[in-house]
Amino acid sequence: MYHVLKWYIWYKNPMEITVDIDDPEPLFAQLIGRIKQAVLSGHLEPGDPLPSIRQLANDLELNSKTVAKAYRLLERDSVVQTRGYRGTFVHPDARANSGVDLNAWVMTRITETIAELRESGVTDSEIRIAFGNVLNERSN
């Protein structure tokens, strides 16, 4: 089932975002992908406003935490920037940053590291334990 949102930027054509609630890809990831596609295609340009978290969540019938997570990750990747009470806008460097897939980079690095550890004789169980220990130390 698709949820479709059209939002209007006063000087542009309507912008349409769709999310498929039946897709195995998480909804926040779908939103991130759609916004990055809009930036790369030129439909969204630096400085363009995005809907508020509440508005986008209501229009797409999503939990506001889902939209907030998408916006937070887009801000982390410098695709959008939040200007306090004024709202969320497309970042000046959004086009260059939209082509970067941080998750793919992380997966590549982890895959390479695991392959190197296995070649050295480390077992999967030892890798899991070490990985968990590193994550636990970092969060403390």
For the full predicted model, state whether its pTM sits above 0.85: no
Contacts of 68 (CB under 8 A, 6+ apart): 53
**Dihedral angle sign, alpha carbons of residues 123, 125, 131, 137:** negative
Residue 138: the pLDDT is 67
Phi, psi at residue 16, to the nearest 5°? Answer: -115, 130
Say which amino acid occupies 68: A
pLDDT digits (tens, 9 = 90+) for 91-119: 999 999 998 777 788 899 999 999 999 99
pLDDT digits (tens, 9 = 90+) for 52-105: 999 889 888 899 999 999 999 999 999 999 998 899 999 999 999 998 777 788
Identify the structural domains of the chain with CATH numbers, from first to last: 2-98 (1.10.10.10), 102-139 (no CATH)
pLDDT band (50, 70, 90) for residue 20: confident
Say which amino acid occupies 120: S
